[in-house]
Amino acid sequence: MKYSALSTFTGVCLSTLLLQRASSLSSRLPSSRLHSTSSPSPSLPSAALLQFPVSSSKSSNFATLSARVHDVMSGPSPPCLLVLPEVWNSPYATSAFADYAEELPSLESRGKPKSESANLLRTLASTYKVHIIGGSVPERCPEGSIYNTCLVYGPEGDLLAKHRKVHLFDIDVPGGIKFKESDTLSPGGQLLTGFSHPTLGYVGVGICYDLRFPELSLLHASRSCNVLAFPGAFNMTTGPAHWSLLLRARAVDCQCYVLACSPARTKAPDVPGPHKHYEAYGHSM
């Protein structure tokens, strides 16, 4: 299969959100732009989807993320929201999650986090004065459970929201892909995670396979959600069939804007590493 520009694209995707504040869901019409390279109008809020290749080196992933954030926030019209990919600090492999997992802060935590990944997100958010939906990273809890967790940081470096992936991705498609997150991960116990953005209003957060279940998104819509954000890493079996379809379906269902950020698609290395290579679909939108 040939690699398309939208799958292997590395850099920043800008989505201009023509938000209309209204009390009824029916008055909000969803709209998005794929990988726009033009600068959005300064009068319109925009979100940047940071699609980049994820490697087995955590320090390299940190450097890549820092460079991408610097690039987009140094432009003439910096966005008011950044969205990162699912599992951006680690290979997307059940065998890797435990090795790369970190103890993440709670919403009640104050000060510098112990977690390297959380501290980087906090630093970037406060340095560039921007809201960051931090994709997701593997989280290790003291009792031994591992979660696929998204942290949301505000412009002052405060932790605004924390979402643990509720719906784990267990799939076995003959001739396609076999992947079972539940071999390593535990499901999150909180359905609704969101935060209030001063420009965009209420933003609901889910992770990847959470997108598949409309009830979760509809619960967000019942709270007058303006934007739904889904860091996700669909693969080359589910991506072509379901990625765009499900994102557009949730936008239609909920009458709100939907943002989704994927890792960039990468080829398997010539020399296999300790963890099985996962080929993400890409196509952040």
Percent of the chain with pLDDT over 90: 70
Handedness of CA 182, 185, 190, 193 (dihedral sign): negative
Predicted local distance difference test score (pLDDT) of residue 18: 43
Express each pLDDT in 178-203 by its tens digit. Answer: 778 878 899 999 989 999 999 999 99
Query: Residue 40's pLDDT is what?
Result: 53
Using DSSP, state whether 211 is helix, strand or coil: helix
Taking the mean position of all CA atoms in its chain, how far away is CA 93? 17
Catalytic residue, candidates 58, 165, 256, 261: 165
Q: Work out the angle at residue 57's Cα, subtended by the Cα atoms of residues 55 and 63, and round it to the nearest 5 degrees.
A: 85
What is the widest separation between alpha-carbon atoms in the chain?
A: 55
The residue type at 18: L
Q: How far is CA 130 from the centre of its chain?
A: 16
Q: What percent of the chain stands above pLDDT 70? A: 84
Average pLDDT score over residue span 27-50: 56
pLDDT tens digits for 52-99? Answer: 999 999 999 999 999 999 999 998 999 999 999 999 999 999 999 999
Q: Active site includes 150?
A: no
Structure tokens given for 200:
């965009």
Q: How many CB atoms lie within 10 A of CB 251?
A: 20
Question: What is the average per-residue pLDDT within 7-27?
Answer: 46
155, β-bridge pairs: none
Q: Is the pLDDT of residue 42 over 80?
A: no
Q: Which residue among 13, 58, 86, 162 is the active-site one?
A: 86
Please enumerate in sequence order all residues whose Cβ is within 8 A of that of 271, keeping only pairs 6 or more positions apart, or say none: none
What one-character DSSP code corresponds to residue 226? S
| pLDDT (mean) for 129-141 | 98
What was the pLDDT predicted at 7?
61
Q: Which of 13, 80, 150, 208 is catalytic?
A: 208
Please determine, for residue 34, whether its predicted confidence score (pLDDT) is greater than 70. no
CA dihedral 47, 52, 58, 64 (to 10 degrees): -80
Quote the mean pLDDT of the chain. Answer: 86
Q: What is the pLDDT of residues 225-253, one digit of tens each?
A: 999 999 999 989 889 999 999 999 999 99
Q: What is the pLDDT of residue 175?
A: 74
Active site residue 86: yes
Concerning whether 208 is annotated as a catalytic residue, the answer is yes
Cα–Cα distances (Å) from 113 to 100, 104, 159, 161, 209, in that order, read 16, 7, 10, 15, 28
Closest C-alpha among 255, 192, 245, 251 to residue 219: 192
